Amino acid sequence: MNRGQFLAVPVETRPEFRAGMPKVLFAGRYRQAQFVDSPPYDVAPDGQHFLMVLEGQDFPDPQVVYVPDWFEELKTRVPGGTGRWP
């Protein structure tokens, strides 16, 4: 990503490595990554789609929910639950 532009670069590996000219795939105002080592997007398993968050979108702050004895509750909710792993 370069200043809101997502680029594609054709690459040849044989007979030697050669990178072609970058081409803009799309551009927009996307939210930046929260952590240094993580990109601000994710790639779908098919390799053909991206997931990003548009800048300016409002989302609620994440919440942490503590559930004491969650495993006991899980056993009551699973039909035939024995509380043992298979």
Cα–Cα distance for residue pair 57/29, rounded to 1 Å: 10
* Helix residue ranges, H only, 1-86: 70-77
pTM tops 0.75: no
Q: Give Cα 51 to chain centroid, integer Å.
A: 6
Cα–Cα distance for residue pair 64/62, rounded to 1 Å: 7
pLDDT in tens, 7-26: 889 999 999 999 999 999 88
pLDDT in tens, 39-54: 778 888 888 888 887 7
Cα–Cα distance for residue pair 27/55, rounded to 1 Å: 12
Cα-flanking dihedrals φ and ψ of residue 50, to 5°?
A: -115, 155
